[in-house]
């Protein structure tokens, strides 16, 4: 036989229908890559050996610690690369590797370190789950008017901090700041006592826009390269005290965690589902010819120091009221330009049922309904030593398209 076949675990996030892009580090080398099953495919070695010659790519485009240059080639080219990888490496029985290819083409995924795959120039966090916004409104405002008047008319968002976004596996130090406890007459300073996760997804901007030139909802798909899991860590007690009148600051800018793999819209295309219907008329610049979300299953687990993993949330990206296309169109309608590598997060993704709420704030309902983990421990917020793990995937079996882990362990200040 001229090639070897490597079977793919049916539970793997990285079926032959995925082909995500990332950057790995191994023995001092940092290189762009993809993954099939349990194996990393080194794209630089593939190019040097001539496997991509017919694509006429720039030399050493993959010998890079960032994907930005590759993404800048444009979606027509990056899609051709993905299709070429499928042509070269995919067999009906699994991962196919020819015997005359260099052994360095493959790495065992367990033996490499995945790093932050893009330079993130700017980061915007939206607030686009109606269920989440409603729950927060009920807890902190008038339950009869949980949604603020603007919410059904535009995708609410704020500009976040790009410098503190870290890749999965990075420890998160408990932040400190000012809080205003109910039993105090003045603010106090110290580590947060209400550390929370936020179950989100983010999309990566794949094309520059010009200052003063809005991106329409119809054009938006051309500006979105792919998606990642995103945990927007939040310090709720700090947030409650500081957010009036300008919104989140220290409560959110200390860290956000992303998964290391960018799953392309090409891979997600088969998992389109209708977006929730509009409850009120929207302005024309937010209207869509094809109003869709993606059926992405989302779980959140807490792993305690004793190794126990407890699944505390089952949600889905399809619950998002405002779609990526609408978020990008609104973000740029005033002329704001976007750049390759910019990250735009969805906001907390919650469903209608209590087990689908995407934050501890909701799951434990502001601390009034403690969760019981599988080892019997109680949680109202995240404790030191806890590891929060986000998982996301579309489909199942040999057609599963997943995002890999998005996890971070909380260490004491």
Q: Which residues are the active-site residues?
A: 132
Tell me the Cα Rg of the chain. 22
3-class SS at 105? helix
CB of 162 closer than 8 Å to CB of 343: yes
Question: Judging by DSSP bridges, how do beta strands 378-379 and 123-126 pair with one another?
Answer: unpaired
Residues with Cβ within 8 Å of residue 57, at least 6 apart in sequence: 47, 73, 77, 81
Answer whether 236's CB lies under 8 Å from 197's CB. Answer: no
> Please, are residues 341 and 120 in contact by the beta-carbon 8 Å criterion?
yes
Question: Helix, strand, or coil here: 54?
Answer: helix
Reference 260, options 165, 179, 382; nearest CA is 165
Whole-number Å distance between alpha carbons of 78 and 111: 27
> Phi-psi bin for 19: left (phi > 0), alpha (psi -120 to 50), beta?
left
Q: How far is CA 356 from CA 186, 236, 353, in A?
A: 36, 20, 5
Cα angle 103, 47, 76; round to 5: 135
Alpha carbon distance 411, 131 (integer Å): 31
How many Cα neighbours within 13 Å face the side chain of 117? 28
Q: Which residue has the tokens 């610049």?
A: 285
Tokens linked to 267: 């891979």
Residue 25 host element (H or E): strand 22-26
């Amino acid at each position: 036989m001229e090639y070897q076949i490597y079977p793919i675990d049916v539970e793997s996030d990285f079926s032959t229908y995925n082909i995500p892009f990332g950057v790995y580090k191994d023995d001092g080398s940092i290189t762009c890559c993809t993954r099939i099953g349990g194996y990393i495919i080194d794209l630089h070695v593939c190019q040097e050996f001539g496997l991509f010659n017919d694509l006429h790519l720039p030399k050493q485009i993959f010998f890079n610690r960032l994907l930005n240059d590759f993404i800048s080639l444009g979606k027509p080219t990056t899609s051709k690369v993905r299709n070429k990888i499928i042509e070269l490496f995919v067999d009906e029985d699994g991962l196919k590797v020819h015997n005359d290819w260099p052994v360095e083409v493959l790495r065992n995924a367990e033996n490499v370190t995945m790093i932050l795959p893009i330079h993130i120039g700017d980061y915007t966090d939206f607030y686009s789950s109606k269920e989440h916004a409603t729950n927060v409104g009920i807890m902190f405002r008038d339950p009869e008017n949980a949604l603020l008047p603007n919410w059904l008319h535009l995708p609410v968002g704020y500009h976040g901090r790009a410098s503190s976004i870290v890749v999965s596996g990075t420890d998160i130090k408990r932040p400190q700041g000012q809080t205003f406890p109910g039993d105090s007459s003045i603010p106090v300073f110290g580590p947060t006592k209400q550390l929370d996760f936020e179950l989100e997804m983010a999309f990566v901007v794949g094309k520059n826009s010009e200052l003063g030139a809005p991106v329409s909802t119809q054009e938006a798909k051309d500006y979105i390269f792919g998606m990642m899991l995103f945990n927007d860590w939040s310090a709720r007690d700090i947030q409650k005290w500081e957010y009036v009148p300008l919104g989140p600051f220290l409560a959110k800018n200390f860290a956000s965690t992303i998964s290391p793999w960018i799953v392309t819209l090409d891979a997600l295309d088969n998992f389109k589902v209708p977006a929730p219907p509009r409850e009120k008329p929207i302005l024309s610049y937010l209207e869509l010819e094809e109003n869709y979300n993606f059926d992405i299953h989302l779980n959140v687990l807490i792993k305690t120091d004793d190794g126990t993993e407890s699944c505390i949330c089952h949600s889905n990206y399809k619950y998002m009221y405002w779609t990526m296309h609408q978020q990008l169109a609104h973000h740029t309608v005033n002329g704001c330009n976007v750049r390759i590598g910019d990250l735009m997060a969805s906001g907390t993704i919650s469903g209608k049922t209590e087990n689908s709420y995407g934050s501890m704030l909701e799951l434990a309902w502001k601390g009034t309904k403690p969760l019981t983990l599988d080892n019997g421990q109680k949680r109202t917020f995240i404790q030191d030593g806890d590891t929060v793990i986000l998982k996301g995937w579309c489909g199942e079996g040999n057609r599963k398209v997943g995002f890999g882990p998005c996890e971070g362990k909380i260490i004491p200040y």
